[in-house]
Every structure is written in C-alpha cells, then in structure tokens.
Amino acid sequence: MKDLGALKYFLGIEITRSTTSICLSQNKYVLDQLTETGMLGFVPAETPIVQNLLAIYPDQVPTNKDRYQRLVGRLIYLSHNRLDITYAISVVSQFIHPPSEDHLVTVMRILSYLKKAPGRGLIFRKLGRLDVKDYIDADWAGNITDRRCTSSYFTFIGGNLVTWRSKK
C-alpha cells in the first residue's frame, strides 16, 4: 500500500477540506454532462422542473429511450451531492420506460438548472455539537398522474445533513 495523501477526488466527487469543514461536490461531473449534451452555452434555468407538468398521454412523441435512460441515470448519480434536484429526478425517473420528447425536455431543463451553480454540493462543518434533528414533509396526493403522495425526510447531526430520502 502507498499513502497518497488527503483524498481530493473519488468516483467523480471532489473533496475540499478546510480547518472547519469538508465540502463534497461534483463540479467536473456536471460540466462534463453539460459538454456532452451540448448545453454548456445554454442560459441556466431558475428551477429544475415545472410542478405537475409531466404525464403520459396517448399522442406523445416518443424519444430515444437509451439516451433518456442514460441521462436520467447520470442525474441520479449526481443527486447524491445535489439535494436540490432530487425531486425533479424522482419525477423524470417515473417515465424511464415510456419516455417522450416532453420528458427529455424536462431532463434537459434539469441540466440547464445545474449550469447555474455546477460546483454546489454538501458541506459538513465542525460545529462542536451532536444534536439530532429530523424533518419530514409530504405533499398528500399532489401528483396529477396517479394522485400518490411524495414524501421526504432529512436527518441532521450536529447541523450537518447525514441522511435523506424522497419517495413516492
């Protein structure tokens, strides 16, 4: 074995350390996705998704299923450090089998949103306390397609996010 020093980059995740915090981000990964899709020159979107926009309609124009699945898979990997896109990713993931052009446009909007701040990530700070706080939220049948509830929970220890989950 060999000591390579402090960890700086692992599996697409960039680790930045200071005396008071550790930051996990995927700046290079986001920029690679924007370059690959040709969206580097696009204007950034203000929000990742428009609420209750996607559904399955009989007259939808189909899109390239492989491309759609590949993009959604990459966004799922990115959502580990970008909690601001988790809801949008959960919505586009529902249409992984019958994707249409509308669904692909929404995936491209998420990528456009990421352009706004590609280096955003998680920060873990040394705050000197270990209190545990949980937050739970649900929209109670807010989905127009199937009237299911979307719920999420977040757990913080010492003011740092350690667990989250969003489910339908």
Mean predicted lDDT score pLDDT of the chain? 82
Identify the band that residue 110 occupies on the pLDDT scale cut at 50, 70 and 90.
Answer: very high
Q: Which two tokens stand for residue 151?
A: 């719920």
Identify the band that residue 119 occupies on the pLDDT scale cut at 50, 70 and 90.
Answer: confident
Residues 167 and 88: their CA atoms lie apart, in Å, by 12
Instruction: Give the least confident one: 34-38, 80-84, 104-108.
Output: 80-84
| pTM, full prediction | 0.74
**By percentage, how much of the chain surpasses pLDDT 90?**
8
Cα angle 21, 25, 27 (rounded to 5 degrees) comes to: 140
Instruction: Give the least confident one: 7-11, 18-22, 46-50, 60-64.
Output: 60-64
